Structure 1
Amino acid sequence: MIRVALVDDDHLVRSGVRLILESVDDIVVVAESPDGPAGLRAIERERPDVALVDIRMPRMDGIEVTGRLATSAPSTRVVILTTFERDAYVVDAIRAGASGFLLKRTPPEGLIDAVRVVASGDALLSPSVTRRLIQAFARTPAPGAGHPALATLTDREREVLLAMASGASNGEIAGRLYVSEETVRTHVKHLHRKLGLRDRAQAVVLAYESGLVTPGDSRPA
């Protein structure tokens, strides 16, 4: 059973999301909160698998909630909910530790799939979100200082990281490298461990911030 917490100052949004999520047998909503501080307390208490957190709330916004949870409840994966499709929100949320970014107009089946994807340990990075990340880094070039642990990656793990940074799914990476999806998942798991990362979202950000890749380029820096 996937345990979910909802943090949103709009009661109707919370009620609608709860109704959608609890229409399936493998998801249960264990907490609802109307603002950031209350949501933080509820998540720290309940330790849900996934927290759906509104980006704009009174007293404490979703970015701050996400950043605090990275320390106080690291096992909870955060998906940011928003009505705004702005680059800064995407980058700030993922840098703060979010595992996904979802627009509130997402269809019910998309919301359910998102919770399942994030709960499984993957990140919710759609091609459109990845494009916004790339565009944001294009406006603010990475310093290119590198990351010491990148040197510990095998050539194949490096290839997988580069493909992830381009927005490719595991299936697409498997096709490019002529290997199985299970092999790709193994490479992803290994590179996450070596780089000290939690999920795909952090891996993509690291690839750009370290200068491993630059916007518009999928080759090693």
Structure 2
Amino acid sequence: MAQDTDVIVQPGSVQSDPSVHIEVSKNGPYIVRGAPALHVQVIVANEAGNSWAYQQGQEFAVKDGTALCRCGHSKKKPYCDGSHLRAGVDLTETATFQPMLEGAEEIDGPNYSLTDNEAYCAFARFCDNGNRIWNEVQMPGEQHEKLAAYMAHQCPSGRLLIWDRATRMPVEAPLPVSLSLLEDPAESVSGPLVLRGGIRVQSASGASYEIRNRQTLCRCGASSNKPFCDGSHASIGFRDGL
């Protein structure tokens, strides 16, 4: 599998087959290239009421060229039905092409470090378990380190990344290529389009965003960091009706 050398790949991530990628159309939908699997994925809470795992739901057909709604108004979600032409939603891309780590805060613990770029928060709340990830990573002991790593790996947007302080390498395993439509029953909202496995996202300008193992793209049309999710679906109560 050839790797595209014209794009930035985040440390710890591996680019997927380049034939599989997402094109952001100007003021329009996401165009899927290739035919990655697309499922609903439901956030499952633990006994404490915090986000803990995912449950796979309904599958949707995807083929090369499938258009997925990103304005939040389609009556045929997850597919585009042209509603963006009438909805009056500003779909202008505002995200930077810089690597996510350039805007990230670093928190150091005994053996692990955590990098966190809040601009990419998808409000999935896996980070709230235990003493919350920002504290867990600083606490000594294998139990805290394992929990911090687990929370970071569950973060759908890749906002949170755990690093081994000895090797200065991310503790991150490449994920299978997939697309998912996040559902958040605890908040009674529908979330972003989740990309896993190093899928390239191409701007309407033709430039490519940094390739990452975990990414989330806005589906409600309200993000201030388009095309990426910033958690706005929760504040506006977005429901996709699926």
TM-score range, shorter chain: under 0.3
Q: Which has the higher helix share?
A: 1
Q: Which has the higher strand share?
A: 2
